[in-house]
Structures are given as structure tokens and as C-alpha cells.
Structure 1
Amino acid sequence: MAPPAAIALVVVGVLACVVTVYTVVSGSSDDVPTVVAFPSSAGAAAPSGRTTAGDAAQNPSRTARSSPTDAPTAGGAAMVVSVVGLVRTPGLVHLSTTARIADAIAAAGGGRPGADLLSLNMAQPVRDGDQILVGFADPSGGTRLRSAVVSGGGASSPATPGDRSPTATAGTAPSVGAGSGASGSAGTVDLNTADEAALDTLPGVGPVTAASIIEWRTRNGRFTSVDQLAEVDGIGPGRLAKLRDRVTVGAG
């Protein structure tokens, strides 16, 4: 019979082998899913329509493309409006379909000194084909040419109730005798006393030129000669020749 010491050594050796085999087997089974699962979880795609934080850091252009700044801007197609009278750059301006009178005036460079802007409703929407006439406001309270908006259909829309449109109604002509300053002799108009309605009856003189005549008179005093009309904005030699027989400077 083997001594007890030898039996004990054999038992210890067997137990050591069992423990070693168990450790190796269990360790191998744990490592395999760890190694396989790690790249699988790192490379997993996010749900459709969402971007993970890692994706955003590695591919910032993906999130930039979804920015709301790339959405189409509202406003619609542009429209064309005519702005004339006492503005710095009169003419046609292109505006959005949501534009107001204030936008049209600003697009024309703003009003010139003496412009009648108080008669205009700056919040009023404008329409394609409208004409905005910026008139003249005499700071001393004298004769003035009120501003107005003429629609594309030809109807004049004064800015405030009671304002008189600077243009005549379609199909009618203003009476020379109705305006103050008409001399009544051979249909001539006194440049020193005529209001905008009387001046508007002269050949080649519309609301804008009438406003310029009144502006010149306010700044320089009385006309002493018909030739001084050449100093008025919008009156050249040809227009002056047509006006010579139709105007007078009255008794000085």
C-alpha cells in the first residue's frame, strides 16, 4: 500500500490539473464574445433618421446638410413698383410680394428734403404695378402737393381721407379756374400763385414737375421771368418753349 503522503500528492496534482483546465476553458469562452462583440457594437448603425454623437464628430458635413438654413426662403416672386417725386433715386424698384410702402421708399433711396412722407401710410402693402408719388410739403404751411399711391389699374389712392390726388381722374381734366392762381386771361397760369392743380394743366407738366415748381418757388421766392423755369428740375429747353405762351409771372 502507498504511503499517505504519496496519495495526498496525487490528489493535489489531480485537483491542480482540473482547476487549470477549467480556467483555460472558461477564459477562452469569455474572450471570444468580447472580441467579436466589441467591433460589432462600435460599428452599429444608428436608427434611421438619427445621427449618433460619434457620427457627428467624424462627419460634421452630414449634420450641416440638415440645417434649417438650407430651407427655401419665403417671399415669393418679386414685383415692380414705380416710385417718383421727391425721392433720391426715383424710378422702378423690385420688391418682394410682402413689401410695404416703407420698403418702396427705402428702395428709392429715401425722401428728399421737403418730401411729404406724412401723407403716406408706410405700413400699407403695395401691389405689382403700383406707382408711389412722393409729393412736396411746404414747412411754412403754404401750398403743398400731397403724396399718393396710384394702383396699377390707374385709380389714385390718397394716403389720408380728404387728401386731394395730384392726378386727374381718368377721362376728366381739372378745371383751370378751380385752382387758385389761374389768371383767367387766355388760359395762362400765374407761376407765383398757381397751386398744383393749376400747374398740372400745363402741357408737359405732371404731378412731379408741379411739385418741383412749387419747391423752387418756396426756396427762391417769386418768379420774375418765365425763363427761370429752366432752373426747375425736369424742365428742359423743349418743355420751356411749350410753356412760354401758357404761363405768366404776374405783376411783380
Structure 2
Amino acid sequence: MAQPRRTGRPDIRLVALVAAVALAVAVGVFVFLVRPSGGVVVQRASDTALVTQENQGIARTDQAALTSEPNAIVVHVDGAVASPGVYELAIASPRVRDAVDAAGGLAQGADTSSMNLALPLGDGQKVHVPFEGEAAGAEADSSGGDAAGSVSSSMPSLININSATAEELDSLPGVGPSTAAAIVEDRDANGPFSSVEDLMRVSGIGEKKFAKLRDHICV
């Protein structure tokens, strides 16, 4: 029986199969290289930064809203209060009453009849609470908020205990002729006072009487 004769030409079906396989492999490799891995949508770096900045801005705004506090003011409180001094008030719409409370409240002998305790306060102001029988001073110095703070012109001038005469000392609250004479005698005997607190070395002047004097004297 005669055998089929080979012509030397490649089998057309085999060639087509090999070409199809090669094409499929090439397409797969192309898709793999071009497609973002894992099917994740790529976002531009500029867009990501913009979203991040917006989110941070919202976070900062929310945090500021949660932690916002009233602006603190600094006031000087003296006169008939428990603890005269400079105080910081970090409350909304501070009033004269708030400054008095910060200084420990009213001292014995305080006279608030001429004061407006509801008067608004600003930074750098001074609150003076007069004693009974004392000429009313400024309820709150409204001359502004300079760094040093201003004293109202209605405040009485200070008396220098190192140079004042017995008559001038007698004009101080709680000081009579005998106490004024004792101050002069102590000053002559022991030398000038180094501070206003030294006035308590004079016989007859204790802490309570000195509390009435300290805002009216200087050295």
C-alpha cells in the first residue's frame, strides 16, 4: 500500500495553532504590564495631597472649636479686698465683680455703695474697692490697656511715709494723731522705711490696719 508523500511544507493547522498561542501570550503580557496591579484605581499625587490637606484643615477647625477658650485679661485689684494684687481672668465678659472675687472677695470694712460691680472689664484695668469713710476711687480704670496699666486720676495720691509730716500721716485711713506721731518717732529713731511693709514695725499698726494703709502709702 502506498504511503502518503511528504511535500516538505509545514502543516498549516500547526502553524495557525502556534501563532494563536503566541498572540494570546503577547496580549496577556501587555495587559499585565499596562493594567494597574491589583485593579486599584490610581490617584494623582496632587489629588491625594489636596484631599489630605482638606481633611487636616477640617480636623484643625474641629479641634479649635472644641478647645477654644475666652481670651484672658490681666487686671490689678486693690483696696478693701482679701488679697490685693494682679490677677488673670480667663472668663467670658469679665466684670468688676469677677475681679473682686479673684482677689478673695471683699475685706472687712469694704464700701461698695459707690461701685458698679457689673461694669465690664478690659485688659490692663485697675479695680479699687474703697474702705468705709474713704473717698471713692475708680471702680475700674477705663483709660485703656497699656502695658503698665493706668491709675484713674480720681485715685488719691500716695503719701510717702519717709517724708510725710505727722499731719499728712494723720489723713490716712485708720491713722489718728497718736499713730501718726508714732510713725514719725519710729522713723527718726530707726531710720527710713525700706518698704511699706516696714510700717508694721510701728507700735499700734498690725496687719489689719496696714491692709487699710498699703494702697495709700509709698516709700
Q: TM-score, normalised by structure 2?
A: 0.43
Q: TM-score, normalised by structure 1?
A: 0.39
